[in-house]
Amino acid sequence: MRGKKTVVIDFDVGLRNLDMVMGCERRVVFDFINVIQGDAKIKQALIVDRRLENLSILPTSQTRDKDALTREGVEKVINDLRNEFDYILCDSPAGIERGAHLAMYFADEAVVVTNPEVSSVRDSDRVLGLLSSKTRRAEKGEGPVKPHLLVTRYDPARVAKGEMMKVEDILEILSIPLLGIVPESPTVLSASNVGTPVVLNQGSNAGTAYADAVSRLMGEQTEMRVLGPERRSLLQRFLWRTA
């Protein structure tokens, strides 16, 4: 959306879903594992997004297991992509197993996505520990992978009632810079239902929050705003249909 050539790689081998969320599930022919194993060229596996010409998607395999990922294979693919793209996003599976490890291994920066639940914050802390020790940058002494925190499913109303941890609380615990706050929003589910990224939905608070986060990731100074639940005008409420 900002004119940067970007590719997203799905690292969740065996549980492919990036294709579904991005709405290109019927266009997958070859995948990441095929490329690693030399069965397909990278150009054959990349799917160019129909909405944004600068965006490509590299789906993962749905049938193979995570052991099909090798560090050397991943490195080669990333190095090939480096020549062509400005940003390579490695979409990591949750957890700390092979897929997640290799998704973070070659990273320069990391966006840790957490929601205001104890389990999520604890896991994020663990992942931050791995980012500072089990990555190529850490092993080669090239300085740490730069972490960013993205808080999702945030509900300011519940925070006000003391039912949900504040962003400040999460920041105090994890102590990494905040990239953005994505409010809990029904448009997120609607977006994945139809396979359109929510960031393309300009009227959505969650979409706006994601767009803000992207600006900050690219180094722009954007005011940190906590967007509340979407307000609908009376007419909109009257005409409202579930998406």
Partner 1 sequence: MKLFDYFVRPRPPSSAQTAKDRLQILLAHERQDRSQPEYLPLLQKDILEVIRKYIEVASDKVEVRLQRGERMSTLEIGIELPPPRGLKLNSVSAALAR
By the criterion CB under 8 A, which residues form the site for partner 1? Answer: 116-118, 121-122, 125-126, 129, 159, 161-166, 169, 172-173
Q: Which is nearer to partner 1, 7 or 164 (CB)?
A: 164
148's enclosing H/E stretch is strand 146-154
Closer Cβ to partner 1, 116 or 147, answer by number? 116
| Biggest alpha carbon–alpha carbon distance for the chain | 60
Tell me whether residue 115 or residue 204 sits nearer to partner 1 (CB atom). 115
Q: How far is the CB of 213 from partner 1 (least distance, A)?
A: 23
Nearest-approach distance from CB 158 to partner 1, in angstroms = 8
Rounded-to-integer distance, Cα 14 and Cα 107, Å? 22
Residue 73 and residue 24 in contact, taking contact as beta carbons nearer than 8 Å: no
Work out how close the CB of 174 gets to partner 1 at its nearest, in angstroms, rounded to a whole number.
9
Quote the least distance from Cβ 12 to partner 1, whole Å: 25
The residue (of 79 and 228) whose beta carbon lies closer to partner 1 is 228
In whole angstroms, what is the distance from residue 240 CA to residue 233 CA?
10
Question: Rounded distance, CA 75 to CA 89, Å?
Answer: 14
Whole-number Å distance between alpha carbons of 81 and 45: 12
Q: Which of 134, 152, 154, 153 is nearest to 144 (CA)?
A: 134
Of 22 and 145, which has the nearer Cβ to partner 1? 145
Q: Are 69 and 33 in contact (CB under 8 A)?
A: yes
Angle at 135 between CA 150 and CA 218, to 5 degrees: 40
| In the complex, minimum distance from the CB of residue 16 to partner 1, in angstroms, rounded to a whole number | 31
At 137, the amino acid letter reads R
Closest distance of CB 183 from partner 1, Å = 16
Pairing status of strand 55-58 against strand 47-48? antiparallel
Give the shortest CB-103-to-partner 1 separation in angstroms. 20
Q: Is the CB of 173 or the CB of 200 nearer to partner 1?
A: 173
- 180 neighbors 212 (Cβ within 8 angstroms): yes
- Compare residues 93 and 116 and give the one whose CB is closer to partner 1: 116
CA angle 188, 147, 5 (to 5 degrees): 65
